[in-house]
Structure 1
Amino acid sequence: MTFTAPSWVPELPFDPPDGIPIADFMLEEHYGRHPLGYSKSPFTCGLTGKHYSSLEVKERVDYLARGLAKEFGWSPNEGSEWDKVVAVFSVNALDTLPLAWATHRLGGIQSPVNAAYSAAELEYQLKDSGAKALFTCIPLLKAAQEAAQKVGIPSNRIYILEVPEKFAGGKSSPSGMKTVDDLIREGQKLDRLEPLNWEPGHGAKRTAFLCYSSGTSGLPKGVMISHKNVIANTLQIAVYDKPYRDTKRLPTEQTDYTDVALGLLPMSHIYGLVVICHASVYRGDGVIVLPKFDFTTFLESVQRFKINSLFLVPPIIILMTKNKSVLDKYDLSSVWSIFTGAAPLGKETAEDLQKIFPSWAIRQGYGLTETCTVVCSSSPDDIWFGSSGSLLPAVECKIVTTEGVEITGYDQPGELLVKSPSVVLGYLHNEKANKETFQDGYMRTGDEAVIRKGPLGHEHVFIVDRIKELIKVKGHQVAPAELEAHLLTHPAVNDCAVIQVPDDDAGEVPKAFIVKSPAVGLEENDRMVARQIQKHVEEHKARYKWIKGGIEFIDVIPKSPSGKILRRFLRDKERESRRAKGAKL
């Protein structure tokens, strides 16, 4: 049985264009984009208030594309996109997306890198993506330089994305290093670029963003996201939300309703990249950009900029519910909507927040990097706590059992398979993963789901478990295989497996099961050995990948005859242990 969007959801007004770059879709008014002159400033710094109008952003993208073309010797219609890969290792900045759109204007690729990465993790992505240049910010410059040197990116191909001086510790760009503003100023003096000479279909087969995801299993893989994928999901989100947003439009307004949205979540993550930075800007909303999460700064920004829509992840919502006395100090009356994704929001947590803010529409969405974000979403008119909402227009889903039998009714769990114009091109350099994940026009999500009829009679998607091995720490993806490979480099580790365990603040954290090496003497204290192993991870991996769920020593790691780690056995063992202790499951 194929599930589709409810009858109340409008169909897409036109097929997502497949012959244009994302930059044209976002900065021209030919494709339903909210009029530039009536849009809010796309990106405003939440620390300084600095911003550019929509028309100014369009101009900056044009100049920046000219500057990049001159700097790198790139021409819009020469070479493939893989000759023009630009990596961005930075916290959120005003020019993060304009830089992407300028790169797309040249037919190139932006590969966003998680700002929490260590130099070694950055090095892996730079090498795997084939990045030709690296844009970073002052706080991350040292790690950027270290990684770039190891992969052969010369120092004159490292550039600075400017962030507020306060956040950068008062430091300015080092002498001799070019900034995005420098490239824009150079571009102002150059002739206009020739247009991209694309035929229909080019935007559907050319990669625009190369984001890294662990997928359903294994090490991080480059996800090839086409121009059409981003355009399609941007359009799907806008069309899905439009019926309710139309109810907020005042009779005196000349154009559709526009919002002020929170731009706190990392622009390197698919949620921040598409849902916030593309869908919001396309429909004329303003995004208040914050470089990192700080509870006080977050609340001050909501109050100062009268933010209407909060795009968050569950750990921040949990923090809010536990600090009502702090919330009471700020005027949050401008907020009408909260949208959460990247990890499931528990029904109880949603209810706790609703008690504090009865007028807020507390919405949840579900998507993956491989679906170029949103598959389903709660409508403000049809919220059902615990649900991830209803399917977006042009999305088709199937539920299948582990034996591959298609489920035809409600409340029957199975793996969720998704078909959508936003489903990506595939993984870079990984045909095995492509064959496992993309089958018969559908993307296998690795998530267990059920479809249920809601109180208003519409179908809702509930994500009930994860078949895949991914660990979600505050919305960040952690691949067990990556941590296991690193743990095995420690002399005290003979074998290991990593699973997720619940955590009140982070949602989930990694826990390691370790088989000690024979080299570890009997006289060595287990607690001391465990701390040495944890320190080994902390010295090489981003903080969210640390083994905060603890280390448990066991005699043997359960494996299949083919050698695959049977993590489900360990998860079941962990659940029984926690149940016996009365801990949260």
Structure 2
Amino acid sequence: MPFYPPAWVPKLPFDPPDTVSVCDFMLNEEYGRHPLGYSKAPFTCGLSGKEYSSLEVKERVDYLARALAKELGWKMNEGSEWDKVIGVFSLNTIDTLTLAWATHRLGGIQTPANAAYSASELEHQLRDSGAKCLFTCLPLLQTSLEAARKCGIPKNRVYILEMPTEATGGQTTPKEFKTVDYLVKEGSRLDRLKPLEWEKGEGARRTAFLCYSSGTSGLPKGVMISHRNVIANTMQIGVFEKPYRNSKIEPGNQSDYIETVLGLLPMSHIYGLVVICHASVYRGDGVVVLPKFEMKTYLEAIQRFKIVSLFLVPPIIINMAKNKQILDQYDLSSVDIIFTGAAPLGKETADDLQKQHPKWVIRQGYGLTETCTVVCSSSPHDIWFGSSGSLLPGYEARLVTVEGHDIEGYDQPGELLVKSPSVVIGYLNNDKANTETFQDGFMRTGDEAMIKKSPGGNEHIFITDRIKELIKVKGMQVAPAELEAHLLTHPHVNDCAVIPIPDDAAGEVPKAYVVKSPSVSLEENDRMIAREISKHVEEHKARHKWLRGGVEFIDVIPKSPSGKILRRMLRDKEKERRRQQGAKL
């Protein structure tokens, strides 16, 4: 049984175009973008207040594209997009999207990397993507140089995205590195570039962003996101939210409603990249950019810039709910909406925050890198805590049983499958994962869901469990297989399995079950061995991948006859232990 958006959701005004780049779509008004001259500044630094108007951003994109073409020897309309891959490993800056759109202006690809990555993790992404250069920021420069050197990117192909001194600890850019500002000035003196010459369908075939995701299982994979994918979800989000935004237009005002939103979440993550940086800017909103979460700086930015919409993840919302006395020290009267995604928000947490701030509209959405972000979202007119909302326009969904049979009714769990123009091209160089994930036009999400009817009569999607093995730590993905492969390199580990366990602050954290190597003597202390194993992860992996759930030793890892680790058995064991401990308390 197929499921569709509710009847109240408007249709897309036109099919997402497949002959234009993301750059042209975002910076030209002919595709429905809010008029450039009447939009807010797309990106404002939340620390320094520095910003460029929409028209200035368009000019900077053009100049930067000219400079990149000369600097890297790239010619318009020649070669493949895979010859023009730019790596980005940076905290958020007001020029991060300027760089992305300049790359697209040349027909190239941007591959954004998680700013929490270690040098070896960054090296893997740069090597796998075929990045020809790397843009970074001063706080991450040394990690960038190490990774670039190991994968053959010369030092003169490492560039700097500038940040305010408040974010760099007072550091200034070393003279041997070129900055985005330097390249923009260089480009202003160069000849204009030819326009991109794309035939029908090229926007749907050409990769714009190569983001890395764990997919439904296994190690991180490059997700090929086309120009049309980004364009489609940008349009879908805008159309879905238009009825509520229209309701906020004052009587007699003929112009569209625009507002200021928070740009705190990483621009390397698909949530920050598309929902905040594309959908918000397309409809004329201004994004206040912060490089990382610090409660004081975050609250000061809301107060200073009168931010209306807060795009957050559950750990930040939990922090807010538990620190009402801190929030009360700031003027947060401008806030109207909180939107949360990347991981489920518990109904209890939403209730707590709603009691503290009854005027705030608390919304939740659900999406994946493989759907180029939002699949469903709560409408401000139909909030139902615990739900991930209703399907966006242009989506079709199915629920299927383990045997692959369609579920025909409500309140029955099954794997969620979705179809949309925003569903991505596929995984880079991974036919097996593509075959498993993309079938008959649908994307298998690997998530168990139920469809329920809200009191208002609309169909809502509830994500009930994770079929896939992915662990979500503060909204960031951790693949158990990646940690297991690394743990097996430790001399004390004979076999292992990694599962998620609940955590109040992070949502989930990894826990390792380990079978000790026969070489471990009886005299060796389990606590010391566990610490050595945890340290082995901490020395090689990003902080969100650390074993904060601990290390537990067992005699054997449960596996199927085919050798597949039965992680659900370990999760059930953990749940039962927690239940018993709770009963004892």
TM-score interval for Structure 1 and Structure 2 normalised by the shorter chain? over 0.9
Aligned twin of 2:326: 326
Deviations, residues 281-327 of structure 1 (Å, cap 9, x unaligned): 00000000000010111001000000000000000000001000001
Q: Distance in 1 between matches of 2:169 and 2:300?
A: 20
CA displacement at 1:252 relative to structure 2: 4.7
Aligned twin of 2:366: 366
Deviations, residues 54-107 of structure 1 (Å, cap 9, x unaligned): 000000000000000000011120010000000000000011001000000000
How does 1:394-543 map onto structure 2 within 5 Å? Answer: 394-543=394-543
Aligned twin of 1:270: 270
What TM-score do the two structures reach when normalised by structure 2?
0.99
Aligned twin of 2:337: 337
**Distance change >3 Å, CA 583–CA 301, structure 1 → 2:** farther
Instruction: Provide the secondary structure at the position in 1 that maps to 2:11.
Output: coil
The answer as to 2:199 corresponding to 1:220 is: no
Aligned twin of 2:302: 302
Q: Is the 8 A contact 1:5 1:392 kept in 2?
A: yes
Q: Is the 8 A contact 1:38 1:255 kept in 2?
A: no
Instruction: Provide the secondary structure at the position in 2 that maps to 1:452.
Output: strand
Q: Is the 8 A contact 1:217 1:479 kept in 2?
A: yes
Instruction: Provide the secondary structure at the position in 1 that maps to 2:18.
Output: coil
Aligned twin of 2:251: 251
The answer as to 2:393 corresponding to 1:393 is: yes
Aligned twin of 1:64: 64
Aligned twin of 1:571: 571
CA displacement at 1:254 relative to structure 2: 4.0
Q: Is the 8 A contact 1:480 1:499 kept in 2?
A: yes
CA displacement at 1:253 relative to structure 2: 3.4
Q: Which runs of 5 or more structure 2 residues have no equivalent in the other structure?
A: none
Query: Counterpart amino acid of 1:86?
Result: I
Q: Distance in 1 between matches of 2:263 and 2:172?
A: 24
Aligned twin of 1:289: 289
Q: Distance in 2 between matches of 1:202 and 1:246?
A: 34
Query: Counterpart amino acid of 2:128?
Result: D
CA displacement at 1:563 relative to structure 2: 1.3
Query: Counterpart amino acid of 1:3?
Result: F
Q: Distance in 1 between matches of 2:392 and 2:198?
A: 29
Q: Distance in 1 between matches of 2:520 and 2:90?
A: 41
Q: Is the 8 A contact 1:500 1:510 kept in 2?
A: yes
Q: Is the 8 A contact 1:136 1:159 kept in 2?
A: yes
Deviations, residues 337-396 of structure 1 (Å, cap 9, x unaligned): 000000000111101010011011100000000000000000000000000000000000
Query: Counterpart amino acid of 1:29?
Result: E
Q: Distance in 1 between matches of 2:428 and 2:138?
A: 30
CA displacement at 1:583 relative to structure 2: 8.0
Q: Distance in 2 between matches of 1:131 and 1:186?
A: 23
Aligned twin of 1:315: 315
How does 1:200-211 map onto structure 2 within 5 Å? Answer: 200-211=200-211
Q: Distance in 1 between matches of 2:455 and 2:49?
A: 43
Q: Distance in 2 between matches of 1:572 and 1:332?
A: 42
Aligned twin of 1:131: 131
CA displacement at 1:492 relative to structure 2: 0.7
Q: Distance in 1 between matches of 2:126 and 2:485?
A: 19
Instruction: Provide the secondary structure at the position in 1 that maps to 2:168.
Output: coil
Aligned twin of 1:242: 242
Query: Between the two proteins, what is the percent identity of the paired residues?
Result: 76
The answer as to 2:164 corresponding to 1:161 is: no
Q: Distance in 2 between matches of 1:38 and 1:371?
A: 31
Deviations, residues 488-509 of structure 1 (Å, cap 9, x unaligned): 1111111100000000000000
Q: Distance in 2 between matches of 1:13 and 1:583?
A: 55
Instruction: Provide the secondary structure at the position in 2 that maps to 1:167.
Output: helix
Q: Distance in 1 between matches of 2:241 and 2:152?
A: 45
CA displacement at 1:328 relative to structure 2: 0.4
Aligned twin of 1:189: 189
Q: Distance in 2 between matches of 1:253 and 1:156?
A: 52
Deviations, residues 480-528 of structure 1 (Å, cap 9, x unaligned): 0111111111111111000000000000000000000111111111000
Q: Distance in 1 between matches of 2:481 and 2:442?
A: 25
Deviations, residues 34-59 of structure 1 (Å, cap 9, x unaligned): 00011000000000000000000000
Deviations, residues 10-35 of structure 1 (Å, cap 9, x unaligned): 00000000000000000000011000
CA displacement at 1:163 relative to structure 2: 1.0
Instruction: Provide the secondary structure at the position in 2 that maps to 1:67.
Output: helix
How does 1:75-114 map onto structure 2 within 5 Å? Answer: 75-114=75-114
Instruction: Provide the secondary structure at the position in 2 that maps to 1:48.
Output: coil
Q: Is the 8 A contact 1:87 1:110 kept in 2?
A: yes
Q: Distance in 1 between matches of 2:561 and 2:407?
A: 30
Coordinate RMSD, CA, aligned: 0.8
Deviations, residues 121-167 of structure 1 (Å, cap 9, x unaligned): 00010110000000000000000000000000000100000111121
Q: Distance in 2 between matches of 1:487 and 1:175?
A: 41
Q: Which runs of 5 or more structure 1 residues have no equivalent in the other structure?
A: none
Query: Counterpart amino acid of 1:478?
Result: V
Q: Distance in 2 between matches of 1:514 and 1:417?
A: 34
Instruction: Provide the secondary structure at the position in 2 that maps to 1:135.
Output: strand
Instruction: Provide the secondary structure at the position in 2 that maps to 1:582.
Output: helix
Q: Distance in 2 between matches of 1:545 and 1:371?
A: 24
Aligned twin of 2:11: 11
Aligned twin of 1:377: 377
Query: Counterpart amino acid of 1:406?
Result: D
Q: Distance in 2 between matches of 1:452 and 1:300?
A: 39
Q: Is the 8 A contact 1:211 1:225 kept in 2?
A: yes
The count of aligned residue pairs is: 584
What TM-score do the two structures reach when normalised by structure 1?
0.99
CA displacement at 1:251 relative to structure 2: 3.1
Query: Counterpart amino acid of 1:263?
Result: G
Q: Is the 8 A contact 1:427 1:433 kept in 2?
A: yes
Aligned twin of 1:233: 233
Aligned twin of 1:554: 554
